[in-house]
Structure 1
Amino acid sequence: MDETNRIKFRWVAGKLITEKDLADCSSLFSSHYGLYDLYAPDPSKRGQRVRMAPSRQKLLLNVAGAWAAMAHLDEELVAYAFLVRGQTSGGTLSWVTQLVVHTEHQKQGIASRLLHAAWGLSDEFGWGLVTASPYAVRALENATRRRCDPGVIRENQEELGKFAERFVNYVKDTAFVVDEGRCEVNTEFFVDHSEVLSMVANASKANAWTLGPLDPGHEWLAFVFQPQDPRELTVAEFDRLVADQDSTGIVREAYARMTLDGSHKWNKGTVDEVDFSQLNLDIPVGGRVLDIGCGLGRHTIELAKRGYSVVGVDFVERFIHTAQENAAASGVEDKATFLKADARDLHLGEEFDAVVCLYDVIGSFPDDLDNRRIVEGVSRHLRPGGKVLLSVMNRGLVEAVATHKGDIHENLHVFAGLKPSLTMQQSGEIFNPEYMFFDPTTSLVYRKEQFTLGDDLPCQLIVRDRRYSKSDLESLCRECGIEPIWTRHVRRSHWHEDLPAHDSKAKELLMLGFKK
């Protein structure tokens, strides 16, 4: 496999970065950023490696809205970016405060991928960085599909200055120099510029250089803005973007950012749903039940209240902690056990009398193999004859309501133009046609989901999930050793009623089955 395809990306809030991460970033910077030039005020540093201690890097991340994006090849850190997001009068601005790529991996598009995976197709007001590297400027332009234009930068110069005052300490007291022939800032960072001219020449083979020359101790002020017309997104860029975002654990990230509190629609009807489950699963008195994708534990806890011994699993650590607290508050901590685990690789070493796997666990992943592994795990943990109740999102309703649909590769301009939503976080109404694109060939729905509440940083993710027809779901279950008893199209908490597949209320496909 090409080593660039083995690169995995990871995001972490600045306040949560570990000492090991900081040490790795410091080592990469100190070994690969560059040399001090002959104009450095301290003669002892001239020609020496520019070094950055972890403590200094921590200062960059110790501001509101700061976070880090890291790229690993196998276990080795090969690139990272520190960013800070904040509000301006025009909207959210992302400022890259540090961007470093391992020398052996430069000019391979890793920096562009790192920024693209972080920003995706976000609708932020602006993105940019201060840098002495032409390759970093090109990475910015490639990631945003926009060109740095000194005229546009000058129009937004005041906003950039105000932002720097609040968030970027090494620039806040420095005047910007922006005119048609120059776009720079005096950071008094005397990094060696001896190769800058040749780097500019290499970076300018496809597009003319727009930011002008660079004086000693200065760095380019490179920014692009939302109103600038982006070039069209290519198929290769889109496929790389979703693959890179997938490598960050996009599904876990999306679900971890959901509030899922008592007001969230996905949390309604718990008692009715457990009444239905208890009636249909034929659980023996005191029987063992497994709840896969338990979230905050609402079904697990309600089943435990009824005397069953229940294990709830979820791959979001925050959910597990909250579920444990909820179980203790309900007085069922002796009956409800919670484990952090990935449903795609679940091996608990025991069989249960019944399994529930509800609300968009199966189908959360765009890869059919991932979803199959979840069903295999259901079967593996169910005793012969034991029953399972599982639900997926209904393809029939998507077919009926989708207004943006077709081959995603042939309609990237349509998807790029869709508005982002707060659907998952706020309402759970993920069938709103205004915010989704449906590819009938793959049965995948694509959405731009934004998550802005809580202490975590604002984030926009491209979420893809699988929708199922009745035949899709039943075939998958049979292949995994589960025989369907019935499958019906239902609405939330009204599982007794079988609706037409295209009914506007039939958002779920619910199946009762047993292990052969």
Structure 2
Amino acid sequence: MDNPITIPVLLDLTQAASVTSYGIFSLSRFEGSSITDTLLEAAAELFSNHYGIWGQGAASKVGPFAKAGWRVKISAARLRAEYLPQSENAQNVYVKAMMGETLVGHAFATRWEYEGRTVCWITQLVVATPHRSKGNATQLLFKVRNSGYLDLGCGILSSHPFAIKAATRAFGVGLTKADLSMTREHARSIMSCCPVGYIREAKCKGSLFEDGQTNSGVVSCANTGFYVDHTEPLEALEIIKREGISWPLGTLPDGCEFLIFVKIGSSIISPPRSATVMETRNCQIDKVLSSNA
């Protein structure tokens, strides 16, 4: 058998296929009516198996089904009803990541018009546990961004710091240079006209919004009433801090999610490392090049 060769191949993330260090990682984008029930059933299964678990006290806040330690679950019907608004003003997109025949990640987003410009909001971002911390969430969001729209910016609500980091990389200039002025000046008004109900109804909190919480450590988040356990997100936050990145959004109260609205600039950072093939075999390179021809 031939020895592996080393050929750096940088892939265009607007294409349908990209490569990670562990195999072929394909991305597909669906919009509007092309988001079928079959796609949503697979998405619901991924979410229910990998999103997170309910936190302490969730049952008393949300209902008896939200028992601490139990996985947060969702149905395909609820995904369609709550994450794919049918408003004439809403443009919905779903991006999925496949590893062979296995769904390993997805992103839902909705676009709508705000003050004469299109804005984008990431409404759900999930990556299967074994495939996290490899840049795959950023690749998913690059695919959302490259949909042909001239967005003013992109917002996201998430309790997971890796999701926030991915959004700032895909739509902005990265977490280290994140500018919170757009969040401070526009997040409330943008969210108030969002076609997605849970975003429209979320209440902004933190010192960024001058809500009197200057001494609590809360900088930018929103109360969504989503009492997910914060153990894993806090571990992710420590990883980010060990990378030398100063976390800009402060602490996270129970029932809240971090909030950021990223203004899209004239240029974006390079695709994540997992989109670069450094060591692979001829057959894998041939597959990639032919799929991107």
Q: Does 1:149 align with 2:176?
A: no
Q: d(CA) in 2 for partners of 1:129 and 1:13?
A: 19
Instruction: Provide the TM-score with structure 1 as the length reference.
Output: 0.43
Q: d(CA) in 1 for partners of 2:180 and 2:142?
A: 22
Q: d(CA) in 1 for partners of 2:237 and 2:206?
A: 19
Provide the residue aligned with 2:156 in structure 1.
129
Provide the residue aligned with 1:54 in structure 2.
76
Amino acid across the alignment from 2:128: H
Q: d(CA) in 2 for partners of 1:233 and 1:35?
A: 33
> Conserved in 1, the CA contact under 8 Å of 2:135 and 2:274?
no
Q: d(CA) in 2 for partners of 1:66 and 1:178?
A: 29
Cα deviations across residues 400-446 of structure 1 (Å, max 9, x unaligned)?
A: xxxxxxxxxxxxxxxxxxxxxxxxxxxxxxxxxxxxxxxxxxxxxxx
What stretches of structure 1 of length at least 5 have no aligned partner?
A: 242-366, 371-463, 466-516
Q: d(CA) in 2 for partners of 1:3 and 1:73?
A: 12
> Conserved in 2, the CA contact under 8 Å of 1:126 and 1:225?
yes
Q: Which of 114, 117, 121 is equivalent to 1:88?
A: 114
Deviation at 1:237, TM superposition (A): 5.2
Q: Does 1:162 align with 2:197?
A: no
Q: Does 1:10 align with 2:28?
A: yes
> Conserved in 1, the CA contact under 8 Å of 2:187 and 2:261?
no
Q: d(CA) in 2 for partners of 1:233 and 1:52?
A: 34
Q: 1:4 to 1:69 in 2, by over 3 A?
A: farther
Deviation at 1:91, TM superposition (A): 1.6
Q: Which of 134, 138, 141 is equivalent to 1:108?
A: 134
Q: d(CA) in 2 for partners of 1:238 and 1:88?
A: 34
Provide the residue aligned with 1:117 in structure 2.
143
Provide the residue aligned with 2:223 in structure 1.
186
Amino acid across the alignment from 1:226: I
Instruction: Provide the TM-score with structure 2 as the length reference.
Output: 0.74
Provide the residue aligned with 2:203 in structure 1.
175
Cα deviations across residues 266-290 of structure 1 (Å, max 9, x unaligned)?
A: xxxxxxxxxxxxxxxxxxxxxxxxx
> Conserved in 2, the CA contact under 8 Å of 1:22 and 1:58?
yes
Deviation at 1:158, TM superposition (A): 3.7
Deviation at 1:17, TM superposition (A): 1.7
Cα deviations across residues 328-380 of structure 1 (Å, max 9, x unaligned)?
A: xxxxxxxxxxxxxxxxxxxxxxxxxxxxxxxxxxxxxxx6x68xxxxxxxxxx
Which structure's relative contact order is higher, taking Cα pairs within 8 Å and 6+ residues apart?
A: 2
Q: d(CA) in 1 for partners of 2:46 and 2:120?
A: 23
Amino acid across the alignment from 2:97: A
Amino acid across the alignment from 2:199: V
- Across the aligned residues of Structure 1 and Structure 2, the Cα RMSD in angstroms comes to 2.8
Amino acid across the alignment from 2:184: R
Identity %: 28
Aligned residues: 242
Equivalences for residues 32-431 of structure 1 within 5 A: 32-40=50-58, 41=60, 42-44=63-65, 45-59=67-81, 60-63=83-86, 64-89=90-115, 91-120=117-146, 123-146=150-173, 147=175, 148-164=178-194, 167-180=195-208, 181-204=218-241, 205-226=243-264, 233-234=269-270, 240=275
What stretches of structure 2 of length at least 5 have no aligned partner?
A: 1-18, 209-217, 277-288
Q: d(CA) in 2 for partners of 1:239 and 1:170?
A: 32
Q: Does 1:25 align with 2:62?
A: no
Amino acid across the alignment from 1:53: S
Cα deviations across residues 288-320 of structure 1 (Å, max 9, x unaligned)?
A: xxxxxxxxxxxxxxxxxxxxxxxxxxxxxxxxx
> Conserved in 1, the CA contact under 8 Å of 2:161 and 2:233?
yes
Q: In structure 1, the residue corresponding to 2:200 is in which secondary structure?
A: coil
Q: In structure 2, the residue corresponding to 1:47 is in which secondary structure?
A: coil
Q: In structure 1, the residue corresponding to 2:231 is in which secondary structure?
A: coil
> Conserved in 2, the CA contact under 8 Å of 1:154 and 1:179?
no
Amino acid across the alignment from 2:164: V
Q: d(CA) in 2 for partners of 1:206 and 1:163?
A: 36
Q: d(CA) in 1 for partners of 2:75 and 2:246?
A: 36
Amino acid across the alignment from 1:224: V
> Conserved in 1, the CA contact under 8 Å of 2:225 and 2:256?
yes
Based on CA coordinates, which of the two structures has the bigger radius of gyration? 1
Q: In structure 2, the residue corresponding to 1:83 is in which secondary structure?
A: strand
Q: d(CA) in 1 for partners of 2:272 and 2:49?
A: 30
